[in-house]
Structure 1
Amino acid sequence: MTLAVLFTLALLVIATVLLVAHPLSRPAPDVVDDGHEDLLAEREALLRALRDLDDQVDRGEQDADAVHAERSRLRGRAARVLAQLDALPPVPTRPNASVARPALLTLLVMAALVGVGALTVLPRWQLAGLSTGEAKAVQEVVQIPALRATATRTGTEASLLAWGRAAFAAGRYAEAAQAYASALKQNPQQPEALRRLGIYLVTQGDPKNVQQAFLLVRGAAQLAPKDPESQLFLGFALTHFGEDEAALKALQTYQKLDPSGRDADETITAIRTRLGQSTPGTRVYAASCASCHGPDGRGGIGPNLHLSNLTRAQAQDVILHGRGAMPAFPNLKGEELRGVLDLVMKWQAEP
């Protein structure tokens, strides 16, 4: 190990001692702030942002497909906040003075390990604080330049698809479209390239390209009908043309092919509302509950309501007063409250 590395590690350890030892040396209060209020505020802000997106789509101010990426980001963050809230202890306390010294020694050891790790395996250490999806997205972005260079140099279908996948996963849809268009020159019947290029062009809304773009998406669904993404993108494309019944069928097929997939939830709810397949209870559920529990109550970032075993009175209490990470809805009354309870009880009785 070089002198510079040893010096850097020594500075890290000294800084950690100074930062940790000072607060631990002071009298500890009985209770510490566990961040509960901050998490609650963030939860409300995220849920409000999700509802605002849905409202914008319902009012026609935003296209459902156009806000898909932002909705997915908000839901991912909301899921992490809800998990943190559920994990909080009821009365968190700080360690007393008798445990301060062992805690300090433990932190010193951890600091040394972090210092060594930061100097030896920095890329993995940087990704450790991210969720699996976020870490994968970062890795995809890092790989894009090399994949682009390889695809440009070789021009093979496999290299072009690898470049397109990385760009698509990173949200660089225009670059992904470029890669997939080149891949289709190699293989005009490549389903992934067809549907991803097609859905990108559909969402651009260019009248010159939109019909041809739809044909690409539909062709991909015909070539790979059992691929969940083929049915998902077909459903999205059909909603763009106002074909709600056909879109609903495609999106329900997507749900059967990928039961854990949540990408179609909001669109399905919006379609059912437009088709009039709604009651006061389902309208309230779609506006306030579906973003967490899914359009059919089968779970998302919130639990699966079909697996609940609450009585009607218990369910009403949870709805009105909240529980754990679930917010309260004290203003829900009358026909709307009865409708939501009827829906929950109906789902509990279903397999």
Structure 2
Amino acid sequence: MKKINIVLFGTGNVGSILVNQILQARESLQQKEGLEINLPVIANSTTAFFQKENQQSSWEADLKNFGFPYKLEDILDYVQKQQYGNLIAVDATASEEFVDNYLDLIRGGFHIVAANKVANTLSSQSYTQLRETLQEHNKHFLYETNVGAGLPVIETLRNFYRANERVTKVRGVFSGSLSYIFNTYCEEEKAFSEVLTEAADKGFTEPDPRVDLSGKDVARKLLILGRELGLQKEFEEISIQDLVPVHLNGQSTLKNFQKKKKDLDPVFSKLKKDLKRDEVIRHVGELDLQSGILDVKLVTENRTSALGSLKNADSSFEIFTESYGEHPLVIKGAGAGAAVTARGVLTDLIKLAEKLPS
């Protein structure tokens, strides 16, 4: 029986669902995969709970009632004293600060699985340093959910790159929230601000919708894919079309944005009016490997195309390669959501376990 020991950082939507998915899958993984998953430590940003092995009680209640303030050194010391093997740190946070701990975790004996995409979008120097440290300590770093949640986008590109299949272009709808917004806006007779409010009410957008409309999250995903394909780029080199007008951007308050978001309506109304009968608006990320240009922008698409036919909050990625020519490989499906992201993290954990000793 192979055993892995997971320290989970982050108990928000993704982290909470992941713990429950692990608990539900435990017996099946033992029987089918010969894999035992232990969760010795569960931590949020301020509190950590150290569990007894295979404890079945309510971890949420235990974290609240028996957790205590911690420093990373406390966890590193604990797992060393307990002599845990096959250690994996799961970063289910969205924290820009937490990734500063990655090098210490690796040196402390941990592999890393991350839903958090920050580490892969820092400077090229930090990106390279992380990978050199992983190699030096013979550790693995998996992050499939950084792009496309549970969709196998990164794995597919990595396999092409390893097999020396030349990828020429990647383009797609990278954001589930913007997918929902423009899919709905192009199909229904509603003002853009009304669709935006509806998307927020359904939990598709960030609490501040300007985060989604800025295009920066899509740009980060685009940068991650570019780096997987050997492209040496910095975030600042990406061309990003910000959908938020200057007078409503981050220099003003969220309250001001919510009060004046109808100012967005005339711009998008004109875009919609100018569409041909068979066209729709889509928000896309595009990576051209031949020119080295990374773009985040609005485009018009034929409504029968892979991107034009999207529904709800689905994502779609078109991968053009030398062998596929003008007929791209298309990966399409739910590209966002806590449940599919958590399932993607669990899949990464199982893949990582296959690489580790019994």
The TM-score normalised by the length of structure 2 is 0.27
More helix by share: 1
* Higher RCO (CA-CA < 8 Å; seq separation 6+): 2
Please give the TM-score of this superposition, normalised by the length of structure 1. Answer: 0.27
| More strand by percentage | 2
